[in-house]
Amino acid sequence: MTLRSLTFAIVALSLAAAASAAELTRDDLKKALDANPGLILDVLRQNKKDFFEIVQQAAQEEQTRRQKEQQEAQAKEMEDHIKNPLKPAVTKKTRIRGNEKAKYTLVEYSDFQCPYCGPKTPNGAPGGYKIAEALREKYGKDLRFIFKNKPLPFHPKAGPAAQWLEAATLQNVEKAWAFHDKLFLNQDKLGDEFFEATAKDLGLDVEKIKIDLQSQAVKDSIDADIKEAESLGFDGTPGFLINGVPVRGAYPAEHFDEIIKQIDEAAKKH
């Protein structure tokens, strides 16, 4: 219900009481309001406190309703995708962190400049990087982690950061993962100078990276990640898949625990 319709409803009810006493019909009341719209303001002025309380209550009820709808939609989506998981591309070329034959696969679509993708979100909650690290630590050899690039167009440093990561991967996968960590842990320093210094510190061939940055292999890898993310319904970042079940946003690690629990329970039934 909009504020305008709510206001009209409150005023109508207030006037209806008076109308009832005077035995006015609904049409009479409507005509009276149409002819004298100022009556609405008069009623509001006389019932300011009541009106404010009703509006507050209506806003709270609407917020509760929307939260419930969102939770129900998420629960249904989770149930649907546990039965029919989304399938990201995982090939011999895929950069995998952890046990390649792990029971659970966590895929993250992320942006190195995104404030919700680093260690902490703007409100201090764990960001995408911290969430992935917490899950890696908790599940150990039972979880493998795959990072895919989704640099957003309004983050000018995200695209170059993704290029440097992919160019580093062409040289050494383990050092590329270390590069990935450094990027997220130093989001405020992103830029060519930092990229080059970090690559050098990690023992990567900086000159070769500079050549590979513009290579077709790097471009194709990033383009494929972006296309896949969009095809799976990820518009923003971070976005995750845990065994094919999507999580859109930086939800706490406990949210993933619940999904894993339901995945395991579903597996027992088959």
Highest mean pLDDT among 42-51, 54-63, 222-231 belongs to: 222-231
**Does residue 238 have a cis peptide bond before it, meaning omega lies within 30 degrees of 0?**
yes
Same domain, 156 and 245: yes
Residue scoring higher pLDDT (183 or 50): 183
Residue 110: φ, ψ to 5°: -145, 170
Same domain, 38 and 101: no
3-state secondary structure of 110: strand
Of 82, 117, 137, the last residue of a domain is 82
For residue 105, what are the domain limits? Answer: 87-268
Same domain, 174 and 206: yes
Same domain, 33 and 150: no
Same domain, 12 and 62: yes
pLDDT digits (tens, 9 = 90+) for 92-146: 999 999 999 999 999 999 999 999 999 999 999 999 999 999 999 999 999 999 9
The beta strands (E) that lie in the chain are given as: 96-98, 104-110, 143-149, 239-242, 245-248
3-state secondary structure of 73: helix
Of 82, 101, 132, the last residue of a domain is 82
Same domain, 78 and 204: no
The Cα–Cα gap between 173 and 77 comes to 34
Same domain, 128 and 65: no
How many helices and strands (H and E) does the chain possess? 11, 5
Same domain, 225 and 243: yes
Same domain, 94 and 166: yes
Cα–Cα nearest to 236, from 111, 130, 125, 126: 111
Six-digit token string for 7: 């206001």
HSE, side-chain direction, 13 A CA sphere, residue 60: 6
Cα–Cα nearest to 106, from 227, 259, 235, 219: 259
pLDDT digits (tens, 9 = 90+) for 216-266: 999 999 999 999 999 999 999 999 999 999 999 999 999 999 999 999 999
CATH number at residue 98: 3.40.30.10
The Cα–Cα gap between 110 and 177 comes to 14
Same domain, 24 and 103: no
pLDDT at res. 22 = 53
Same domain, 259 and 244: yes
Q: Is 147 exposed, middle or buried (0-12, 13-18, 19+ CB in 10 A)?
A: buried
The Cα–Cα gap between 266 and 78 comes to 12
Q: How many domains does one find in the chain?
A: 2
Same domain, 144 and 41: no
| Average pLDDT of the segment spanning 51-71 | 71
Of 29, 54, 82, the last residue of a domain is 82
Has residue 147 got a pLDDT over 70? yes
Cβ contact 164:195 at 8 Å: yes
